[in-house]
Amino acid sequence: MRSAPTAIVVLAAAFSIGCQDQPRKPEESQTQGRIVVKGADSALKLMRRQSQAFMQLYQKAEIVVDGGGSKAGIAALNDGRARIAVMTRELTSQEDSIIRANGGRPKGHRIALDGLAVIVHRSNKVERLDMDQLAGIFSGRITSWAQVGGSGQRIVPVYPGPNTGGYEYFRDRALKGGDFAAKSYPCTTTAQIVDLVKEHPSAVGLVTMSALYQSWDIWPPAREQGIRAVALGFGRERGYFVPNQKTVNEGEYPLTRPVYLYVNETVEKTFSQGMSSLAHGFISYVSSADGQKLVAQQGLVPVTMPVIIKQ
């Protein structure tokens, strides 16, 4: 967003209660005010970079970014604790119904694509898995690496916790709504999953593909040591693909998921029909060329602008 639209200022009448005046509602526009952005931990670093860049441009804006998972983000949007919910999946029909029952109107803005990477210890000899094998591993049907061409070690699956979009996306996409294995371990953060796989040669984990690298602030990005991604596919005929910006952008990688920013339009329309909403202003920036450049620089795939993927 190169320039801000003219702010429409609404003067609130002062009401007297005894000798005390109620404070005026703080002024907000697309480039000033304060909002909370809450949700997916896998997109936390991206959203903090976006908020920092936005606040450098517009110094009267305060964008507070917090994690907690997609489910926590949409709950905070529903009860007014957050103005933007960051989600790595679409809103469920139940979540939509709850918000609408409370008088809200949720609206999602897709701002990126991400790949849910399957990571193993660097010593693991398994190079690829088909989706049936992957489902078998995380459901508990396959318990030894020997069953998929590896060593005889017992498989230790680790995955994002139940409040995360990664958990719900993988359960629906790979497990077809089924349960994770009884002897598998939910984690609170992506960093915990990466550390567990680094430390345990028999472990397998699910992380955002940007976590395959220590830093995206240099090119080429510095790889995370001690782990690697397994190639996924639907069988030999259709091929196997590792998660990266190219395979996700071209739709080849099987575990490709969107990143959404959800707002409650009922709330946003109170700011002069949304034209003075800081939440809308921030989403416009994230969707702009500058914001989408930050998406690419954090290892995800831009969706609102044409992209050229460097390999």
What residues does each domain of the chain span? 24-113+259-302, 114-256
pLDDT of residue 113: 97
Model-level pTM? 0.86
pLDDT of residue 175: 97
Task: Round the average pLDDT of the chain to a whole number and report it.
Answer: 90
CA distance 178 to 156: 18
**Amino acid at site 14:** A
CB-based contact 225:197 (threshold 8 Å): no
Residue 235 pLDDT class (50, 70, 90 cuts): confident
Question: Dihedral (C-alpha) 199, 164, 167, 165: value to the nearest 10 degrees?
Answer: -130
Above 70 in pLDDT, residue 275?
yes
The CATH code that applies to domain 24-113+259-302 is 3.40.190.10
Across the range 103-123, mean pLDDT stands at 97
CA distance 79 to 264: 10
pLDDT of residue 310: 59
pLDDT one-digit tens code per residue, 136-194: 999 999 999 999 999 999 999 999 999 899 999 999 999 999 999 999 999 989 999 99
Domain 114-256 belongs to what architecture? 3-Layer(aba) Sandwich (3.40)
**Which segment of 5-19, 102-116, 122-136, 218-232 scores lowest on mean pLDDT?**
5-19
Is pLDDT larger for residue 308 or for residue 226?
226
Above 90 in pLDDT, residue 197?
yes
In degrees, rounded to 5, the angle at the alpha carbon of residue 82 between the alpha carbons of residues 76 and 84 is 105
Is pLDDT larger for residue 78 or for residue 8?
78
Across the range 116-132, mean pLDDT stands at 97
Give the number of other Cβ atoms within 10 Å of residue 149's Cβ: 12
CA distance 153 to 144: 6
CB-based contact 116:257 (threshold 8 Å): yes
Which whole-number Å values give the CA distances from 42 to 45, 87, 143, 262, 301, in the listed order?
8, 9, 27, 16, 14
Helix 44-57 to helix 278-287 angle (10° resolution) is 110
Residue 13 pLDDT class (50, 70, 90 cuts): very low
Closest to 40 measured CA to CA, from 85, 83, 92: 85
pLDDT of residue 273: 80
Same CATH topology for 24-113+259-302 and 114-256: the answer is yes
